[in-house]
């Protein structure tokens, strides 16, 4: 068994000590907010870092983080706070998440020291087969599928909330939903990000009158600073508070979901043609949350736990870490570090494409993908003085051969970037990392009439067709099947205790965001909040690597190009959040400073200046 080196242990301890010292000076402390919505005509303060006692919440939105903090102050635990935060995000971030979507829930139980996970991924209709997105033997155009009933899977988010609270929470669903219900009824302030996302979706939103009525009152884009209310969602939350999630899976709301999918309510005067889906009441009634073992690997003596398939996050992050463990990244130059990180990501994504799908329908070699033996067999492909040519062919984790590659590489399927991630912790030491989504920004674009939420387009995460007809693709559609995901909620333990927890939205770039943030913190010794906010690169077994402007404009880019790397500049990658216990008993909550307009980190009792 690999042990943490004294060098790495000392490095991480020094980082934690420095973080605590900075917080004591008041640099990182952020005021907590006790209410939600527009209490006293003010909004929660939106700060990317907070340090203090009593627990912590970090999300992309201040109202959502405040909802989680409120539940913690009422005696709730990290699980309660996570559901409260997620429900509030369904109000303020409705284009990213909500009861019409799904996600993955990873939690640490302080009493037992165990990591627990819930797979709340959406599922395809029982009628689906491998040709779900094909017509006349050809794949349908993506744009034609995404904004349609055909892309909608059975939502898993409501069932995730109920299951998490029932198993590990301390508060009833109604109590936990209360801040979000109030927020939906009273409204929240529209910010620049919300207005921009609405504008980006305006053309397809206008196909559906109910979506226009909800998000473009009066038929116009919402003005920045205006108040956005959602009384329909408030009523949906009230129904859930009183009756649980039954109405969404086997009741009146389920009927409305099915009718909306099977006959999308388009503008009758718009002349638009939108494909119907085949979701049935039986599909919703049969939906089950999967409680399963987490993915696990060891890295620099730390235990890294994530989400096992149907997500590819845990296996792909884990394999890349195993590949990178062969060298001391802390001793490398910036160019050398980025080169190895990019190449490890490239190789791990090659293996992800070939082997990862829904284990209920596919033979997924999860254990083998996370073995050090397989990682070593793939690491030998990486050279310090040259670049692998993409697409890299996958290896065989069941029978690793040094530098061996086999089948034709599978392309990375498109995954919408408008997911959201939250992290919570409580005074007892419990921790949650929860990533949830409705897929791309605005999901399918279809609002369930009278219910206040958008439906997902999650089924577009399936492969529309196999990359090679002679090689099995584990991510083709199937009856009741969960599409592969890249969501990577991650909790890292040091000697059985939480070291930190993190995650991010961003489609397939989630994996690289989590991976790079971990390397920045563990290997480069960056404070966790700085590790999240450092400039990012994302390689997903493609010819070019995406990099943010600060890297694109830096001196390291031409150095890497001399090695053979090619780059595409992209505005931003991911929008991470994290929490971390400090040596003095306080919690650090960290979020983005700029990406997606900045995130919101809060603690129950902030440190004094």
- In sequence order, what are the residues at sequence separation of 6 or more whose Cβ sits closer than 8 angstroms to the Cβ of residue 166? none
Phi then psi dihedrals of residue 294, to 5 deg: -75, 165
Q: How far is residue 333's CA from residue 340's CA, in Å, rounded to a whole number?
A: 11
Lateral strand order in the sheet of 545-547: 537-538, 545-547, 567-569
Distance CA 518, CA 531 (A): 7
**What are the angstrom distances between the C-alpha of 260 and each of 440, 448, 450, 456, 538?**
19, 6, 11, 12, 37
According to the annotation, is 121 in a ligand binding site? yes
419 is catalytic: yes
Instruction: Give kind and range of the element (H or E) at residue 183.
Output: helix 173-186
Q: How far is CA 237 from CA 106, 159, 307, 452, in A?
A: 23, 13, 28, 10
User: Is 463 one of the annotated binding-site residues?
Assistant: no
C-alpha torsion sign, points 12, 428, 97, 438? positive
Number of neighbours of residue 408 by Cβ within 10 angstroms: 15
The reply, when asked if residue 357 is annotated as ligand binding, is no
CB atoms closer than 10 angstroms to residue 42:
10
Contacts of 564 (CB under 8 A, 6+ apart): 386, 387
110/431 Cα distance (integer angstroms): 8
Query: What gap in Å lies between CA 200 and CA 275, rounded to an integer?
Result: 21
Q: Is 527 annotated as a binding residue?
A: no
Please count the other Cβ atoms lying within 10 Å of the Cβ belonging to residue 569: 12
Q: Exactly one of 147, 419, 447, 490 is catalytic; which is it?
A: 419
User: Measured between alpha carbons, how far apart are the two ends of the chain, in Å?
Assistant: 43
From the list 600, 574, 497, 509, the residue with the least C-alpha distance to 12 is 497
Nearest to 422 by CA among 50, 88, 45: 88
Cis peptide before 391, with omega less than 30 degrees from 0? yes
Angle at 156 between CA 97 and CA 231, to 5 degrees: 50
Phi/psi at 124 (nearest 5 deg)? -75, 155
Are the CB atoms for 543 and 35 separated by under 8 Å?
no
- Check the annotation: does 238 bind a ligand: no
C-beta of residue 63 within 8 angstroms of C-beta of residue 188: yes
Binding-site residues: 121, 461, 485-486, 507
> Catalytic residue positions?
419
Binding-site residues for L-glutamate: 121, 461, 485-486, 507
């Amino acid at each position: 068994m690999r042990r943490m080196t004294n060098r790495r242990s000392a490095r991480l301890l020094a980082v934690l000590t420095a973080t605590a010292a900075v917080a004591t000076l008041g640099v990182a402390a952020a005021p907590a907010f006790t209410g939600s919505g527009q209490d006293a005509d003010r909004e929660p303060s939106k700060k990317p870092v907070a340090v203090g006692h009593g627990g912590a919440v970090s999300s992309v939105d201040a109202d959502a983080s405040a909802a989680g903090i409120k539940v913690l102050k009422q005696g709730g635990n990290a699980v309660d706070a996570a559901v409260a935060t997620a429900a509030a995000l369904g109000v303020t971030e409705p284009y990213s998440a909500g009861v019409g979507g799904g996600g993955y829930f990873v939690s640490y139980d302080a009493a037992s020291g165990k990591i627990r996970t819930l797979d709340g991924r959406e599922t395809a209709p029982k009628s689906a087969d491998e040709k779900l997105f094909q017509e006349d033997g050809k794949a349908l155009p993506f744009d034609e599928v995404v904004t349609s009933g055909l892309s909608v899977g059975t939502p898993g988010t409501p069932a995730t909330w109920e299951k998490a609270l029932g198993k590990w929470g301390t508060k009833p669903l109604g109590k936990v939903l209360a801040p979000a219900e109030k927020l939906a009824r009273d409204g929240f302030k529209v910010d620049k990000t919300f207005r921009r996302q609405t504008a980006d979706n305006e053309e397809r939103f206008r196909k559906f009158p109910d979506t226009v009525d909800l998000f473009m009152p009066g038929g116009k884009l919402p003005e920045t600073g205006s108040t956005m209310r959602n009384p329909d969602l408030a009523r949906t939350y009230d129904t859930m508070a009183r009756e649980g999630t039954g109405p969404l899976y086997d009741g009146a709301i389920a009927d409305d979901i099915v009718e909306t999918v099977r006959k999308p309510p388009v503008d009758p005067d718009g002349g638009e043609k939108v494909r119907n889906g085949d979701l049935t009441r039986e599909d919703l009634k049969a939906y089950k949350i999967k409680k399963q073992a987490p993915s696990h690997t060891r890295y620099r003596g730390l235990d890294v736990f994530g989400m096992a398939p149907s997500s590819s996050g845990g296996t792909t992050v884990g394999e890349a870490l195993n590949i990178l463990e062969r060298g001391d990244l802390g001793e490398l130059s910036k160019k050398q570090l980025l080169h190895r990180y990019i190449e490890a990501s490239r190789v791990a994504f090659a293996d992800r494409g070939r082997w990862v799908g829904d284990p209920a329908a596919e033979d997924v070699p999860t254990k083998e993908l996370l073995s050090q033996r397989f990682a070593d067999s793939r690491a030998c492909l990486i050279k310090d003085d040259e670049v692998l040519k993409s697409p890299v062919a996958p290896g065989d984790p069941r029978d690793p051969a040094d530098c061996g590659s086999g089948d034709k590489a599978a392309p990375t399927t498109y995954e919408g970037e408008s997911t959201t991630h939250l992290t919570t912790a409580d005074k007892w030491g419990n921790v949650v990392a929860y990533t949830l989504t409705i897929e791309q920004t605005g999901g399918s674009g279809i609002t369930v009439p009278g219910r206040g939420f958008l439906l997902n387009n999650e089924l577009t995460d399936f492969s529309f067709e196999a990359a090679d007809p002679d090689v099995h693709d584990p991510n083709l559609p199937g009856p009741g099947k969960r599409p592969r995901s890249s969501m990577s909620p991650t909790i890292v333990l040091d000697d059985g205790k939480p070291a930190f927890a993190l995650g991010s939205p961003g489609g397939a770039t989630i994996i690289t965001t989590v991976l790079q943030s971990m390397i920045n913190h563990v290997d480069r010794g960056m404070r966790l909040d700085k590790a999240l906010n450092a400039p990012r690169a994302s390689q997903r077994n493609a010819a070019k690597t995406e990099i943010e402007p600060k890297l694109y404009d830096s001196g390291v880019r031409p150095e890497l190009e001399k090695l053979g790397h090619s780059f595409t500049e992209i505005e931003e990658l991911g929008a991470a959040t994290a929490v971390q216990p400090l040596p003095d008993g306080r919690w650090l909550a960290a979020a983005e400073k700029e990406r997606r307009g900045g995130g919101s980190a809060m603690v129950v009792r902030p440190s004094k200046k």
